[in-house]
Structure 1
Amino acid sequence: MPLSDILARAAGLASEAGSGALKQLQHVRLPGVGQASATDDPETAARRWRAVTVLTDPEQLRTRTPEPLARFGDRVEIRVTPAPGERGAELAARFRHRAGEDELGELRSALREAKQRIETGEVLRNEPQPHGHRAKTPQGKVLDGMDERAAKEGVL
């Protein structure tokens, strides 16, 4: 067997082993170490705090609830603390009761919107696109769908 085939097979096995190890580590809980809510049951996920760091004085946020979060009314708890390293304020929110995945996405989106409004005075949008419309290709449809979902998930 040629050396290049042996090396390719070894690289493939190493990649599979690393992927399996990472998959297992995603579900390990260590005391004091946070974990994404994606692997939690819905009840636990709804009770997690979602937070953003806002470049502003914490007292400014304590006196008035930002409008995007005020839309939730009494359904959410809001917490404002000084951000680590004197980098502004940490604005956190969580639902008081069980919430669905759509509501959790709306809360994440509202936190990011509040951060943008406080820091810049406006919410940045990528629609309409400055260069025109995306072609109606399969790839364009996938990208449009990802862009629409990113508003709630926080990632593209």
Structure 2
Amino acid sequence: MDLNQLIGRATGLAGEAGAALLRQVQHVRLPGAGQASATDDPEVAARRWRVVTVLREPADVDAALPAPLTALGDRIEVRTTRAPGDRGTELAARFRGTPTEHEVGELRAALREAKALLEVGEVLRVDPQPHGERAATPQGAALEGAAKAAPREGVL
């Protein structure tokens, strides 16, 4: 085996070893911390803190929680902390018990609405469409379905 082949083979083996290590590291998560992972226990993932950054001082946010969060009542815990880099306040919430998937969507929507109310004073809506009805096409039906799911799962 000449030197070029040897270097090529060594480079290939090192690349394969690095890729295998990266695959392993990508799935290492501390329970209840960091981003959700498909390999997390569903109960642990459901209990995560959901967080939005609000462009307001912590004292303003602490003074009165917006209605979407207060509507969830004692079922949730709420905390506020100063956002890194002096970028406002992190408003975090999670359920006290183990929530259902629907309840997690409800909490995510409540946090987004609370952010809008604190920053703008109202929750902006895109429906009904100002330009009329969408055409009855497969793409239009898919878009309507996504728009209906957006309040629970996030902005399109």
1:63 corresponding residue in structure 2: 63
What is the correspondence of 1:1-156 to structure 2 with a 5 Å cutoff? 28-30=27-29, 34-36=34-36, 39-156=39-156
Once residues 116 and 42 of structure 2 are traced to their aligned partners in structure 1, the CA distance between those partners, rounded to angstroms, is: 28
**TM-score between the two structures when normalised by the length of structure 2:** 0.78
Once residues 104 and 38 of structure 2 are traced to their aligned partners in structure 1, the CA distance between those partners, rounded to angstroms, is: 11
Give the secondary-structure state (helix, strand or coil) at the position aligned to 2:132: coil
Once residues 150 and 26 of structure 1 are traced to their aligned partners in structure 2, the CA distance between those partners, rounded to angstroms, is: 32
Moved more, 111-120 or 135-144: 135-144
Once residues 54 and 128 of structure 2 are traced to their aligned partners in structure 1, the CA distance between those partners, rounded to angstroms, is: 27
Q: How far off is 1:39 after superposition?
A: 4.9
Once residues 148 and 129 of structure 2 are traced to their aligned partners in structure 1, the CA distance between those partners, rounded to angstroms, is: 13
CA contact (8 A) 1:38 1:45 kept: no
**TM-score between the two structures when normalised by the length of structure 1:** 0.78
CA contact (8 A) 2:55 2:89 kept: yes
| Change in CA separation of 1:150 and 1:40 when aligned onto 2, cut-off 3 Å | farther
CA radius of gyration, larger in: 2
String of CA shifts for 1:133-156, please: whole Å, max 9, x gaps: 101212111111111112111142
String of CA shifts for 1:17-41, please: whole Å, max 9, x gaps: xxxx8xx579612459722266533
CA contact (8 A) 2:108 2:153 kept: yes
The percent of aligned pairs where both chains have the same amino acid is 59
Gapped regions of structure 1 (runs ≥ 5): 1-20
Gapped regions of structure 2 (runs ≥ 5): 1-19
CA contact (8 A) 2:27 2:37 kept: no
Give the secondary-structure state (helix, strand or coil) at the position aligned to 1:114: helix
CA contact (8 A) 1:46 1:97 kept: no
Once residues 101 and 61 of structure 1 are traced to their aligned partners in structure 2, the CA distance between those partners, rounded to angstroms, is: 27
Give the secondary-structure state (helix, strand or coil) at the position aligned to 2:90: strand
Across the two proteins, how many residue pairs are aligned to each other? 136
Q: Indicate the RMSD between aligned Cα atoms, in angstroms.
A: 2.5
Q: Which amino acid aligns with 2:136?
A: K
Once residues 76 and 64 of structure 2 are traced to their aligned partners in structure 1, the CA distance between those partners, rounded to angstroms, is: 15
Q: How far off is 1:131 after superposition?
A: 1.2
Q: Which amino acid aligns with 1:111?
A: L
